């Protein structure tokens, strides 16, 4: 019997690509939900604790939940969708497959995560579980970009 | 490489958390943040049944002034609030004032605030009218917060100056015979279109002590709670006072049994300025 199995290095690359695409998709979904909560002005309920340290309501309605008047959640939709786009079309457009581009894109995301965690801890005094999920996704995507940028042997 | 990157990120995040825990900063408070939607909903969408269940609650009654109605140039009734962000009694009174006025119009731009940490009833959770707007077909809400809530060089920093009309109001109705001599000039001062005035808090600010905005907002649905009795009770009294000025408009507010009953109670108050 003859098997046409891709070499292990290619398999690893495909796995990382699929994992990154999955995280991006989950990020889009969570960010769309948080944007809907923000833009609907409370009509879409926020499923999260709203008292004490964990207070999604307070965080998502804080002054820091907007950048230049744009909801951070909406920026999250754009960022995750952009990441998904990079991954989806990198086969067709070689430029999109550039490891440097992926690292830069996700690096910006990680910097944003640091700012938002700082804002939660020092400026708002509360933590949002949904935001933490998004932060984990961003960091995960950054680490996958780092892994994908490593030369395969 | 991935492990190193992950370790660096985890270390940086842990550093942020550690810095927050180890610094001598007072706990971060949401003061200055927009009022969260859940709190805003609790204040502005109180079910009629809850208002009815509380009635007057634990609210004091206002002082009857019964002078010609104060209106703005466009004919709207003028409700004037004069307070300060440091003042714990103002902190308490803002809760029912927002609830009551939200039955006649709509607030926007309200922010979380708290009374001074170094006064009685320290750090009472409240809101500030600085930067807020109120729209209503019937009422113009004229609010002024004269000072902030954190001392600078030993005194609370001035925020908004009184205009001549507000100064005149204070001189006239926040003075004898409308208030006792030792309370003249006290804040908060609330004037409901020159029909009624409130000087000081209408209830004990202690019922708000040690609670968060969210907790207080949540207790408004429990009509037997001290917070609902104080806030919704005072909101009912203020609503009744406003309804007398608006000629019982809107009907869904002014026609409620509690507001009507309280309106009758207010009508029986002797006008403070009247001589026997």
Q: pLDDT tens digits, chain B, 276 residues: what are they?
A: 888 888 899 999 999 888 888 775 555 677 888 898 889 999 999 999 999 999 999 999 999 999 999 999 899 999 999 999 999 999 999 999 999 999 999 999 999 999 999 899 999 999 999 999 999 999 999 999 999 999 888 899 999 999 999 999 999 999 999 999 998 999 999 999 999 999 999 999 999 988 889 889 989 999 999 999 999 999 999 999 999 999 999 999 999 999 999 999 999 999 886 644
Question: Does residue B185 contact residue B174 with C-beta atoms inside 8 Å?
Answer: yes
Size of interface A-B (CB pairs under 8 A): 75
Assess contact for A145 and A21: CB atoms under 8 A: no
pTM: 0.75
- Name the strand (E) or helix (H) holding A147: helix A129-149
Residues in contact with B165: Cβ distance below 8 Å, sequence separation at least 6, in sequence order: none
- Which residue in the set B33, B39, B214 is minimally distant from A62, CB to CB? B33
What does the pLDDT look like over A28-60, one tens digit per residue? 999 999 999 888 876 788 888 776 778 888 888
Where along chain A do its domains lie? 8-149
Parent domain of B108: 30-267
The verdict on residue B16 lying in a domain is no
Which option is the CATH number for A8-149: 3.90.470.20, 3.40.50.720, 1.10.569.10, 1.20.1440.130? 1.20.1440.130
Q: How many domains does chain B have?
A: 1
Taking CA–CA distances from B216, the nearest residue in chain A reads A51
Q: By CA distance, what is A148's nearest residue in B?
A: B2
Q: Write the CB contacts of B137 (distance below 8 Å, at least 6 apart in sequence).
A: B76, B105
Q: Do B214 and A122 touch (CB under 8 A)?
A: no
Closest CA in chain B for residue A123: B28
CB contact under 8 A, B36 and A139: no
Contacts 24+ apart (CB under 8 A), B10-19: B12/A114, B13/A114, B13/A117, B16/A114, B16/A117, B16/A118, B16/A121, B17/A121
Closest CA to B74 of B163, B11, B137, B5: B137
- R_g (Cα) of chain A, nearest Å: 18
| Residue B213 included in any domain | yes
How many CB atoms lie under 10 A from the CB of residue A43? Answer: 9
The answer as to whether B19 is a domain residue is no
């Amino acid at each position: 019997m003859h098997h046409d199995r891709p070499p292990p290095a290619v398999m690893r690359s495909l796995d990382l690509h699929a994992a990154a695409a999955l995280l991006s998709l989950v990020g889009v979904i969570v960010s769309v939900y948080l944007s809907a909560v923000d833009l609907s002005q409370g009509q879409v309920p926020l499923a999260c604790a709203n008292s004490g340290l964990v207070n999604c309501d307070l965080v998502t309605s804080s002054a820091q939940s907007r950048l230049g008047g744009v909801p951070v959640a909406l920026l999250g939709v754009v960022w995750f969708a952009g990441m998904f786009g990079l991954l989806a079309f990198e086969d067709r457009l070689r430029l999109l497959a550039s490891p440097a581009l992926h690292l830069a894109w996700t690096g910006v995301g990680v910097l944003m995560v640091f700012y938002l965690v700082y804002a939660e801890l020092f400026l708002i005094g509360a933590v949002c579980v949904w935001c933490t999920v998004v932060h984990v996704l961003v960091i995960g995507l950054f680490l996958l970009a780092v892994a994908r940028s490593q030369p395969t042997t | 490489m991935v492990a190193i990157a992950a370790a660096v990120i985890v270390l940086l995040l842990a550093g942020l958390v550690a810095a927050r825990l180890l610094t001598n900063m007072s706990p971060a408070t949401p003061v200055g943040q927009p009022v969260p939607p859940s709190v805003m909903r609790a204040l502005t969408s109180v079910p009629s049944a809850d208002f009815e269940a509380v009635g007057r609650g634990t609210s004091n009654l206002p002082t009857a002034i019964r002078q010609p109605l104060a209106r703005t140039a466009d004919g709207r009734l003028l409700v004037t609030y004069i307070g300060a962000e440091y003042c714990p009694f103002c902190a308490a009174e803002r809760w029912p004032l927002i609830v009551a006025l939200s039955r006649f119009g709509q607030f926007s731009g309200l922010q979380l605030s708290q009374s001074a940490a170094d006064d009685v009833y320290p750090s009472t959770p409240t809101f500030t009218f600085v930067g807020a707007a109120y729209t209503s077909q019937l009422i113009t809400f004229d609010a002024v917060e004269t000072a902030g809530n954190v001392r600078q060089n030993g005194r609370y920093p001035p925020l908004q100056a009184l205009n001549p009309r507000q100064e005149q109001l204070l001189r006239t109705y926040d003075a004898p015979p409308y208030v006792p001599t030792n309370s003249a000039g006290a804040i908060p001062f609330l004037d409901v279109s020159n029909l009624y005035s409130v000087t000081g808090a209408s209830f004990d600010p202690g019922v708000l002590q040690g609670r968060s905005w969210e907790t207080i907002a949540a207790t408004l649905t429990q009509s037997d709670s001290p917070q609902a009795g104080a806030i919704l009770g005072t909101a009912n009294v203020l609503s009744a006072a406003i309804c007398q000025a608006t000629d019982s408009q809107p009907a869904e507010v002014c026609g409620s049994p509690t507001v009507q009953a309280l309106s009758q109670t207010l009508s029986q108050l002797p006008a403070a300025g009247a001589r026997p």
